[in-house]
Copies of this chain bind each other. A is one copy, B any other.
Amino acid sequence: MSEKNSHLLSNRIKSVPKSFIREILKVSNHSDIISFAGGLPNASLFPVSDIAQASAKVLEQNGAKALQYSNTEGDLSLRNLIAQRYKEKQGIDVSPESILITNGSQQAFDLIAKALLNEGDDIIIENPGYLGAIQSFSLYQPNMLTVEVNDNGMDVAQLENVLQSSKPKFVYAVPNFQNPTGISYSQENREAVAATIDKYDTLLIQDDPYGELRFSGEEKESFYSLIPDRTIMLGTFSKVVVPSFRIGWIVAPEWLMDSLIIAKQASDLHTNYFSQLVMSQYLTDNSVDEHLETIIGLYSKQRDAMLSAIEEYFPEGVTTATSDGGMFLWVTLPEGMSSMELFDDALESKVAFVPGHPFYVGEPKENTMRLSYVTVDSETIREGIKRLGKCIKNKMQ
C-alpha cells in the first residue's frame, strides 16, 4: 500500500508529535555508554524463580481454565489482594469491585480518557510531567493546561488560577517520586491541592507507580483519603514486581466504573488472564515487602552514590531536586545552559541522560535534565557523573 492512502489517517493520530525520547534511548543503548537515560527498573532484581514457580503452580492448579477467556474487570483474587494492600499499607478502604485490572498504568490513561474526554475538553497536567500520560491523553485531543511542580509539589496559586479560568475534566498528578523530577508533594501541599480541587467541578487522577519505592521520610496522605469523592487512583506492579506482565489497575467510583468496563471491553476484552493468576499466586506465596526491601536497598544506595558524585563533580550553580525515593533525580543547570546541547557533548564522553525539554508542555525549561540511577552500579554512576560534570564545566567557560 502506498503513501497515497495516508490521507485516510485520523486527525488525532496526525497530531501526535514524534517521540523524541525514543530517539534518545536509541543512541543511549550502546554498551559502551554509561546511560542515566533509561526509564526501566533494574531487571537484576526481578524475582525470576518465584515467577517460574507461580507460573507452574497456576497451570497445575487451574489447568485449561487459566488459558480461557476471562471477565473484563479482572481476576477477583488479584483485585482482593490489591484491596488488602491498600488497607494494610495506607489504611485505605477500597472494595475489590472498585478495582479494574488494566494493561499497566498506561492503559489506565487510555481508558480514563475514553470514558471522560470529549475533543477540546480541558485537562490539567503537571509541568514537567509524565510523557506516557501526556501522549495517551493527547490522542483524545484535549486542551492541555499545565501547573508547575516544584520541590514541595504543585504550585497551588497557579492551580487555583487555572481552575478559575477553565473547566478541566481532571487534574493528573504523580504525587510520589514523580517522573521526571523525583519530587513528592508535601503533606501541606497535598492538603492545599485537595482543598483547591474540591472547590471546583473536577476530578483528581492520582498516578502512583513509585509510591512503594520510598527510601527515606514519612509516607504522605493519599488524595483518596483527602478527597475520596474526587479521586481516581492508579497503581501498577511494573516497578514493584515485574513490568512485562503489563498489570496495573484503576480504583474508580461506581458511576465511572461501568463506563471504564465498557471502554476496557471495547479496547481488548480483558487483560492477559494467565498472567493475572500468576501475579496473584506470586503475591500469595511471597512477601512483597521483603522484595521491596531488596529493591529499595539497591536503588537508595545508587541514589546516594549519584548524589555524592553530583556534590563532588558538578560545578556550583547546578541544583538537584529533593527526592526521597523512586527512580530519578532532576538536575537544573545554570540559567541559559541548554541540556539538549549538553546531551551531544555528553554522548561524545560516552554518558547519556534525558534532557528536560520533552517533559514540558508549552515553554520548556531548557536547562533541566533527568537522571535515572536504578540500572547503573554505584561505581559506574560515579564515573558517569564525573564525565558529565566535566561536560557541564566546559559549557560554563
Contact = CB atoms under 8 A, between A and B. Distances in A.
Given A110-B266, A266-B139, A116 B274 contact: no
Residue with the greatest number of chain B CB neighbours at <10 A, chosen from A52, A64, A275:
A64
A287 interface: no
Nearest to A47: B67
Interface in A79-112: 102-104, 106-107, 109-110
A114 interface: yes
B56 A43 contact: no
Interface string A340-361: 0000000000000000000000
A74 B138 CA distance: 23
A158 interface: no
Given A2-B229, A119-B119, A268-B107, A46 B69 contact: no
A265 B17 CA distance: 13
Contact of A116 (B8, B55, B65): B8
Contacts of A228: 1
Contacts of A203: 5, 8
A394 interface: no
Interface in A188-208: 201-203
Q: Is the interface of A mostly helix, strand, loop or mixed?
A: helix
A356 B156 CA distance: 56
A5 B266 contact: no
Interface in A305-353: none
Contacts of A246: 268-273
Interface residues of A, number: 85
A67 B10 contact: no
Given A67-B242, A245-B272, A106 B13 contact: no
A259 B9 contact: yes
A244 B48 contact: no
Interface string A125-145: 000000010011011000000
Residue with the greatest number of chain B CB neighbours at <10 A, chosen from A19, A103, A229:
A103
A290 interface: no
Given A40-B69, A246-B268, A271-B246, A114 B13 contact: yes
Top-4 shortest CB links A-B: A1-B253, A103-B268, A244-B273, A67-B242
10 contacts: A2-B229, A2-B255, A8-B169, A13-B259, A55-B55, A68-B243, A69-B244, A70-B244, A110-B266, A139-B266
